């Protein structure tokens, strides 16, 4: 698959006249088309809801676009709950899936009427103490342990993950919660990350549907929803084929009709909590080449760094790079594309074959729409970049300004030191 930017060189040249690089740019048209496809793929399920993973792209302007297509918010912290409430997302439009959770977070989620998803059996007593009762509708997170395989290939290792309850704990948790007044139950599981296969969701669904049938039979608890969580990924590399969400939805439907419908559970709602799939391909990091270095290797220094996109530094993750205006030139130069942090892993690409890059060239780093800006930080005193929305009509909207030194020093505002700063 050829990876093409959703923005042209001419458009970028106009945008950088107003907003200096680096910045994250988002594609409204792509976001809308994808959200519509997601909704259609699961329209067969009456209660379906996508709870967008706020942690992936915590920008209210972008989440508001998804809200137009019926999406809720999957929150994991107090401030994510705050963001959701501020855009009018409350009640059962919020799924609160957290771990190692402070009581204040549980209390706030309960005040908003969010569906609370418990990560551990010990959290039942903790939640009850925090809010004074067990909600009528509640969910539990399941971790089967071991490895998760799709088509005889290992996709991930749930047994090494800190999340969720064992099967034995899950059954016991349902019994305890039912005794304490819970009336509607949900099951949640996240067993593999960033899968690029149409088989992941249907296979996960099969496991959870069979589990749900046994849970209802053995505990008497009414399972009203099953949350397939995230894990449906995107093709970061050009050789990967993207997931077909409609084929995925159909695969889940076939499994649903095979397992749940004959068990008399044909009213169970399907929930998802996708972040990367909903936003990842529809964001990019735009940066400019500002230095070149010729030592033991050939380096191109850009004005972005790992604080703008830490996935390559943290995971060794691949993000495709387009040198704007040189898409048709031969990739006959081998570069490390680097940022300015005092860390040797601050590299967006290592030994990457690219067209010849000259100072001043604009580079688009693909697939940063999820876990891009949101994972940013301020190491070396670096400031977070702006976020800009490329609207369907070709105009732009600033949806988050770039940080300034005043923002960086703001938490010193009650100290004598702050008074000495020349802000």
pTM score, whole prediction: 0.95
Q: Which is nearest to 58 in space by CA: 14, 24, 9? A: 24
Residue 124 to residue 101: CA distance in whole angstroms: 12
* Beta-bridge partners for 386: 23
pLDDT tens per residue across span 213-261: 999 999 999 999 999 999 999 999 999 999 999 999 999 999 999 999 9
Number of Cβ within 10 Å of residue 66's Cβ equals 23
Start-end of H helices in 220-331: 245-259, 276-279, 311-315
Output DSSP code: residue 385.
P
Strand-pair category, 153-156 with 184-188: unpaired
Residue 138 to residue 117: CA distance in whole angstroms: 6
Q: DSSP 3-state assignment of 228?
A: coil
Residue 204 to residue 143: CA distance in whole angstroms: 11
Q: Which is nearest to 208 in space by CA: 174, 163, 255? A: 255
Close Cβ partners of 228 (under 8 Å, ≥ 6 residues apart): 189, 201, 204, 205, 208, 252, 270, 271, 272, 273
Percentage of the chain surpassing pLDDT 90? 92
- Mean of pLDDT values over 387-408: 97
* Structure-token pair, residue 84: 């959701």
Catalytic residue flag (residue 151):
no
* Structure-token pair, residue 235: 């093709």
User: From the candidates 151, 305, 331, 342, which is the catalytic residue?
Assistant: 342
- At residue 410 the predicted structure's pLDDT band, cuts being 50, 70 and 90, is very high
Res 369 pLDDT > 60: yes
* Structure-token pair, residue 33: 């088309």
* Structure-token pair, residue 407: 């923002």
pLDDT of residue 420: 87
pLDDT tens per residue across span 331-362: 999 999 999 999 999 999 999 999 999 999 99
Domains (range + CATH), the chain: 27-280 (3.20.20.10), 281-412 (2.40.37.10)
Res 153 pLDDT > 60: no
């Amino acid at each position: 698959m050829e990876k093409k930017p959703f923005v042209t060189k001419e458009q970028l040249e106009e945008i950088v006249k107003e907003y200096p690089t680096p910045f994250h740019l988002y594609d409204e048209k792509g976001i809308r088309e994808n959200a519509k496809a997601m909704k259609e793929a699961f329209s067969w399920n009456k209660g379906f809801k996508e709870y967008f993973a706020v942690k992936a792209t915590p920008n209210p302007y972008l989440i508001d676009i998804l809200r137009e297509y019926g999406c809720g918010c999957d929150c994991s912290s107090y401030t994510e709950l705050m963001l959701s409430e501020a855009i009018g997302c409350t009640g059962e439009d919020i799924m609160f899936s957290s771990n190692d959770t402070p009581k204040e977070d549980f209390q706030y989620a309960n005040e908003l009427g969010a569906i609370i998803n418990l990560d551990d059996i010990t959290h039942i007593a903790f939640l009850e103490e925090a809010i004074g009762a067990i909600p009528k509708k509640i969910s539990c997170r399941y971790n089967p342990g071991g490895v998760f395989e799709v088509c005889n290939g290992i996709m991930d290792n749930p047994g090494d993950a800190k999340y969720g309850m064992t099967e034995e704990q899950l059954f016991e948790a349902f019994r305890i919660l039912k005794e304490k007044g819970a009336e509607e139950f949900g099951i949640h599981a996240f067993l593999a990350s960033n899968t690029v296969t149409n088989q992941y969701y249907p296979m996960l669904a099969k496991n959870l549907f069979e589990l749900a049938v046994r849970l209802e039979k053995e505990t008497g608890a009414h399972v009203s929803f099953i949350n397939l969580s995230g894990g449906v990924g995107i093709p970061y590399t050009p050789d990967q084929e993207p997931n077909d969400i409609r084929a995925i939805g159909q695969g889940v439907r076939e499994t649903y009709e095979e397992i749940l419908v004959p068990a008399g559970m044909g009213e169970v709602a399907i929930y998802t909590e996708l972040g990367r799939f909903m936003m990842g391909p529809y964001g990019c990091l735009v940066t400019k080449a500002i230095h070149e270095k010729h030592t033991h290797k050939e380096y191109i220094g850009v004005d972005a760094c790992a604080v703008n996109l830490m996935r390559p530094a943290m995971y060794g993750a691949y993000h495709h790079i387009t040198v704007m205006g040189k898409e048709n030139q031969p990739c006959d130069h081998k570069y490390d594309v680097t940022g300015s942090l005092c860390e040797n892993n601050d590299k967006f690409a290592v030994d990457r074959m690219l067209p010849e890059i000259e100072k001043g060239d604009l580079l688009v780093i693909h697939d940063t729409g999820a876990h891009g800006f949101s994972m940013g930080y301020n190491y070396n005193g670096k400031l977070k970049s702006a976020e800009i929305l490329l609207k369907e009509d070709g105009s732009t909207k600033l949806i988050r300004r770039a940080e300034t030194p005043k923002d960086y020093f703001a938490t010193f505002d009650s100290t004598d030191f702050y008074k000495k700063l020349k802000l």
